[in-house]
Structure 1
Amino acid sequence: MNLTIRSFKLKQQSVIPGFGITMGLSLVYITLLVLIPVSMVFLNSSSIGSAKFWDIAFSERVLTALKISFGTSFLAATINAIFGLLIAWVLERYTFPGKKIIDGLIDLPFALPTAVAGISLTALYAQNGWIGKLFATMGVKISYTPIGITIALIFISFPFVVRTVQPVLQSIDLEVEEAAACLGATRFQTFRKIILPELMPAVITGFALAFARALGEYGSVVFISGNMPLKTEIAPLLIRTKLEQYDYAGGTAIAAIMLVISFIMLLIINVFQWWTSNRHR
């Protein structure tokens, strides 16, 4: 009996042939594109010694830049997770004039050069811009502040949640919702207990992608942030500044810190996604 079960499991695991060669090519590809470049960051940063490394890591300028980068990226990804889910719901569940045009505009931040996005947002949200002028009368400054940075990060990362949630919404059978309604469930109960658990893994994935995209953004933020040290300077810009000053070890030290923090945060997000999926099952 055990032999039969074991052979059945082996047969199930080898339905698609070529596991060995495809797994080997995948590992080589990941090693060349991810592991080797990342390891070089840690090797270069280790050349300055542990004492110098921790001096750089805990300097006020670096800590402020990391706080701004991670804080604005997390806030932008959270906002995109909420409104990205709303936009995906509207595009998939309703039919209205101009739907195809709006659906196509979702991908515009992917195609638009980040420098163009930064210039456009700066002109729009500056104190003499169309929107910035309105807020300036209320004493609110958007450009050259963390608010402007967050807006730029929202713009360049919001398609990730929409495009991640849309296929899951398409796969949800409407008959399940109709059955819930026939059994007496309200619309809110149907959404909370049936639809939302199905969408949560996709929303978390979109959040993680948006967060990672926003964290590494440079082109659009550099125009609207003002790049003021200890105020609006982001970590990628600080790395660029170090490299322009030929301080390669200092730049790679900041990059190594960002890599470690990013890896920990993305690991936590993935664990939470795994827990959500298993809990729903």
Structure 2
Amino acid sequence: MDITLKRKTRKNTVIPGFSLTLGYTMLYLSIIVILPLSMIFFNTLSMSWNDFYETITHPRVIASYKVSFGTALIAGAINVVFGTVIAWVLVRYHFPGKRIIDGLVDLPFALPTAVAGIALTTLYAPNGWIGQFFPFKIAFTPLGIIIALTFIGLPFVVRTVQPVLQNISKEIEEASASLGATQFQTFRKVIFPQLFPAIITGFSLAFARSLGEFGSVVFIAGNMPMETEITPLIIMTKLEQYDYVGATAIATVMLVTSFFLLFLINFIQWFSNRKFNRN
């Protein structure tokens, strides 16, 4: 009987056992992720503490931190709002051209970042098609960077929230309405708790993508030191100057800070999932 049970278990197993798949997973992650990231720390260790501190706290570098993290956070927050609205429209409504709009959401994934940067600069430059109608500058300012990061981060929120909305039955909303809840109460107490983990996931993906974005931002930013210069550009500049150690030092700060923020976001997501499952 035990032999028969083992044979059935083996037949029902589509992929190899846990030990083999776990070993392959760890090996793959070590080669693709852990090993390249660890080299950043190893190169940074060749610096003295004073050199490391002076490099990462240089006023120009500090200003780039503020620009990169600040614009990424704002763009992520904007995408959370409008990305959720777009996902809601695509899931809950049927209208002509819906498939075309649904396909346009994925355009930032397929479009080369340099092409996106040139296109956005052409639109929002002071003499551009859209920028000429504004009394203030959009391109070559932090506002232009936010627009570029919003453009490339939108699909992450839409594609993360969309499947969750599709799994929420309309019968739940009807039951809430039949119990006397208003539309706002239904959204706040029934729909939003189910959407919140997906929204947090979409925000974290968009935020992480925005921090490392270079191609689309470098054109529209203007790259003015202390004003619109992003940290990836400073890293690239140091690499062009053959200052590999300085580049890895700044990259280490970006890596550690990004990891901490993503860990915090994932903790919020885990906590919200746990609270929703309890309820």
One-letter amino acid matched to 2:208: A
Question: Which sections of structure 1, spanning at least 5 residues, go unmatched?
Answer: 1-14
Counterpart check, 1:66 vs 2:65: yes
CA shift, 1:199, in A, is 0.4
2:220 to 219, 224, 229: 224
The equivalent residue for 2:23 is 24
Q: Distance in 2 between matches of 1:122 and 1:48?
A: 39
Q: Distance in 2 between matches of 1:25 and 1:155?
A: 36
Question: Percent same amino acid at aligned positions?
Answer: 61
CA shift, 1:58, in A, is 1.0
Counterpart check, 1:237 vs 2:220: no
Q: Please report the TM-score for the alignment, with normalisation by the length of structure 1.
A: 0.92
CA shift, 1:185, in A, is 1.0
Counterpart check, 1:170 vs 2:145: no
1:205 to 189, 192, 201: 201
Q: Distance in 2 between matches of 1:198 and 1:237?
A: 39
Counterparts of residues 257-276 of structure 1 (less than 5 Å): 257-276=253-272
One-letter amino acid matched to 2:247: G
4+ residue stretches of structure 1 with deviation over 2 A? none
Q: Distance in 2 between matches of 1:156 and 1:64?
A: 23
CA shift, 1:126, in A, is 0.3
One-letter amino acid matched to 2:263: L
1:147 to 143, 152, 174: 143
CA shift, 1:101, in A, is 0.4
The equivalent residue for 1:187 is 183
The equivalent residue for 1:96 is 95
CA shift, 1:147, in A, is 0.5
Q: Deviations over 1:233-264 (max 9, x none)?
A: 10000000000000000000000000000000
Q: Deviations over 1:89-127 (max 9, x none)?
A: 000000111101000000000000000000000010000
CA shift, 1:51, in A, is 1.1
CA shift, 1:36, in A, is 0.6
The equivalent residue for 2:9 is none
Q: Distance in 2 between matches of 1:185 and 1:238?
A: 53
Counterparts of residues 30-179 of structure 1 (less than 5 Å): 30-135=29-134, 138=135, 140-179=136-175
User: Between Structure 1 and Structure 2, how many residues are aligned?
Assistant: 265
Partner SS state of residue 215, structure 2: coil
CA shift, 1:231, in A, is 1.1
Question: Which sections of structure 2, spanning at least 5 residues, go unmatched?
Answer: 1-11
Q: Deviations over 1:197-237 (max 9, x none)?
A: 00000000000000000110000101001111111110000
CA shift, 1:276, in A, is 0.9
Q: Distance in 1 between matches of 2:275 and 2:133?
A: 46
Q: Distance in 1 between matches of 2:64 and 2:121?
A: 20
